[in-house]
Chains A and B, each alone.
Chain A
Amino acid sequence: MSAAPASRPIPAPPGARTDLVDTLAGIAPGSALEQLRSRRPVARFHTQESEEALFGASAGGAVTQQERSAVAAFVTGLHGQGPLARHAHERLAALDPALSLAIRREIGSARAEGPFGRYPAGPLSAEDTAGLVYAVDETGRTALGPKLAAALEHAHLLVFRPREASPSALQSLLDAGWTTDAVVTLSQIVAFLTFQIRVVAGLTVLNAHPAAQEPRP
């Protein structure tokens, strides 16, 4: 992305971190949109902190860096070829090129439109809609292993048909070898990414269509 020079650039404060949303949405330091984002400073700071908590150097434990990056590449890829998907794929490819190829293959067979799904039986059943229920095939399972295969199936459920979530869906994760702590972290990874990708998408549009400047006299 070319960094368009802002008319009145505000120098970054000492020690300021890279803000991934600004970078991916093309929001230049000192630009009008950057100044608007700074009116919600805690949300802005903690959106980046969330990124660090889930994908930063110290993230790990119940879900490894590789697993986090693989789920991120999958979830963002399900949303199409945006800048966050490219970012997530590059991160995974740097960690594990073979896994990155396997995830690309899964995305190819997992694209769908959402949200869809069944409601609990009752008046809302009239709004039930069907769509792709994704399952990793044998080739994919061999490449990914059983834990990651289960994680991707659950991620797909959360992205496209969250209203069909169930205790048995969580049991599938536990049976595949994820701990309870890991299930919470995986859920946060998928859910956070669906937020982050929408912030980037929304701000990219807003950045491209700024309000008219002061009305001319």
Chain B
Amino acid sequence: MTATAIAYPDSTPPVAFTQAQLGWIPWLEPPAEDELTAVQKEGLVDTARAKSPYFRLLARDPAILRSRTLTDKDIFYNTDAGLPRAERELAAAATSRFNGCIFCASVHARFATTYSKRGEDVERLLDEGVDTDLGERWNAIVEASVALTATPIRFGEEHVLKLRGAGLDDLAILDVIQSAAFFNWANRLMLSIGEPTAAA
């Protein structure tokens, strides 16, 4: 029997980028929380993620969910030097803004604001888009993230030199690359197996 994708004709999804907390609803049926298998739970990594319909839906393929989650956490949470967390989140927010993922942008813009205390600059990135002027260092990070996110990929020597000129060492540049690259993965999942809902 063919399954049916779930549509929400009565939902009014957000139509602008925002730092407000949004909800998310799935277009395919996730496994019920109390029916998750041991392997699916292992795929979720954190038991708290069983509350999320997004992660439960992804638990239909637990092996890749597990590796995806652990990759994500190390790119963003590893505190051994490199790019400050605020700017890893900035790369994620800029990538999400450019790809058009309103949900991902909301989460990571909020984190960027929390860690940088530059909420107005983050808001301008959301309101005006990736070409807005955020000062030398943030511009370099946003431009590198966008160049890496474009298809075909436009990231080149000029981006590395600009990041270095703005004071990033090579570990920090690696963090920019991995943060932006990772949000190409995250945006495409978040955008394509469900949709955001207005303030949760």
Binding site for B on A (CB under 8 A): 32-33, 36-37, 39-43, 45-47, 49-50, 53-54, 78-80, 112-115, 117, 119-124, 127, 157-160, 162-163, 165-171, 174-175, 177, 179-181, 183-185, 187-188, 190-192, 194-199, 201-203, 205-206, 208-211
Contact = CB atoms under 8 A, between A and B. Distances in A.
Contacts, number: 213
Interface stretch (B76-84, B108-116, B117-125, B133-141): B76-84
A158 B80 CA distance: 33
B160 A209 contact: yes
List 4 tightest A-B contacts by C-beta distance, closest first: A122-B15, A163-B100, A202-B177, A198-B181
A185 B60 CA distance: 8
A175 B2 contact: yes
B151 A115 contact: yes
Q: Is the interface of B mostly helix, strand, loop or mixed?
A: helix
Given A167-B7, A195-B184, A211-B169, A188 B58 contact: yes
Interface string B153-189: 1011101110010000111011101101110111111
Given A162-B187, A162-B188, A39 B6 contact: no
A36 B193 CA distance: 34
A108 B65 CA distance: 32
Kindly state the interface size class of chain B when it binds its partner: 35 or more
Contact of A171 (B4, B174, B188): B4
A202 B157 CA distance: 10
A182 B147 CA distance: 31
B57 A201 contact: no
A180 B30 CA distance: 9
Contacts of A54: 64
Which of A180, A192, A197, A198 has the most chain B CB atoms closer than 10 A to its own CB? A198
Nearest to B182: A195
Interface string B62-103: 011111101101110010111000000000000000111100
Interface in B19-53: 27-29
